[in-house]
Every structure is written in structure tokens, then in C-alpha cells.
A and B are shown apart, each in its own frame.
Chain A
Amino acid sequence: GAVVSQHPSWVICKSGTSVKIECRSLDFQATTMFWYRQFPKQSLMLMATSNEGSKATYEQGVEKDKFLINHASLTLSTLTVTSAHPEDSSFYICSAQYRGQQETQYFGPGTRLLVL
């Protein structure tokens, strides 16, 4: 149980285009989802926290207009990288929590983004 999926698993795009990444909790209702970014050999950096039905809370230094997060339902959150640039190339990972289990995050398999 507690499976989280991400789609796509990898994406290549041209500079200036927007890319949407989906995060789904397959067998539970996720009241909170998190989005992380990971550069090679570095730690996961929390970008934002999203709660179903409310606006995402962004970490310091993360541009909310560039990284649009929508948590439209209890099983789906999306991250849209707008006007992507090569420096946005990274590994994006989401995780999900369900009500009453705030200590546990279930991670998705990640999405590799390469911006040319």
C-alpha cells in the first residue's frame, strides 16, 4: 500500500517552454503533498508543500510564479515549471502524506527534467 506515482518519468524540453509533472497517490488520499528537487550528488531540497484545496506554501528562495503547484484533489498534485531554462534541469520528486500519518511521507519515483 501507500504507492505514489509520477508522470512523466523523464522529459526533455526546449528552453522557454512549460512542463507539467503529475504526482498521484494510487491507493490512499493524500491530504498533503510535497515537491522536492534534487541536483546530482546533493540532498533533496524541499520546494513547496501543498494541501488539498488550498494554495501551496513555498520554501524560501523558490519562485512561486515559476513553479506552479496545484493540488486539485486528494490524489493528484501537479507541478508546472513555467518558461523552463537549462538551470531548471533537475530531478523532481514528490511525496504524499495522509491524514493521521503526518510523520510518514511516501515518495514517488521522481521525474528527470532536461531543458535544452
Chain B
Amino acid sequence: SQKIEQNSEALNIQEGKTATLTCNYTNYSPAYLQWYRQDPGRGPVFLLLIRENEKEKRKERLKVTFDTTLKQSLFHITASQPADSATYLCALSSINSWGKLQFGAGTQVVVTP
């Protein structure tokens, strides 16, 4: 069956450091992968999209890599700030279901001053 796995343990990190989150998937032929931010009691907010033929994408302090051989995406927040504290979700859309997303459970990031 298809699975998307993210670290369930919260990532505690000091302000200014780089947070790195992992998203692993199995039994997918991905068309693209997205990362979202979700704050408690709120809907997800889109951050970045990376397609299956792309290796890396950047947006301001955010960087995403996508390795379809390892079936893994890494999400980096550089120069982290307390305002970056949230849960980050990985979502995949497969070639067979373009436009539909399947989400991982998310990893909580806590940035302390």
C-alpha cells in the first residue's frame, strides 16, 4: 500500500539553526511533492512544490530536495525563527491521480529563542 512517512517526534531547534525534515514514501510514482505548514486549529498553507524531475527548489529561507531513487524529500528551514514553529506536512500527488494529494502526518517544529 502507499505510504508517506514523516518523523513523528517533534524537532526542537535553537533560533538561527537549520531545521531539516524528512519525508519518505513507498509505492508511489510521484508526479510532484509539496510541503505545507499547518498551525494548530488551522488549514494547511502551501510552501513549496517540487516535481519528480527536479532535484531542488528554494524559496527565501526554505529549501526542498527530491530524490526519487531514495524515495525521499528533505525540507530545510535555514536561519530558523520562533515564528517558524508549526507542523510541516509533506504531500504527494501520483501520476495516476494528478491533482489529488496524499498527506503525511507531519512533523512539529519548535524553534526556541
Contact = CB atoms under 8 A, between A and B. Distances in A.
Contact of B103 (A43, A102, A108, A110): A43
Interface string B91-113: 00100001111111110000000
Chain A residues touching B, majority SS? strand
Interface string A19-53: 00000000000001010000001111110010000
Interface string B58-95: 00000000000000000000000000000001000100
Given A43-B89, A44-B89, A109 B106 contact: no
A45 B89 CA distance: 12
Contacts of B89: 43-44
Nearest to A42: B105
A106 interface: yes
Contact of B99 (A6, A45, A102, A107): A102
B50 to A, nearest CB: 11
A80 interface: no
Contacts of A102: 98-99
B100 A49 contact: yes
Interface of A: 4, 6, 32, 34, 41-46, 49, 91, 93, 95, 97, 102-110, 112
6 contacts: A34-B100, A43-B89, A43-B103, A43-B105, A44-B103, A103-B32
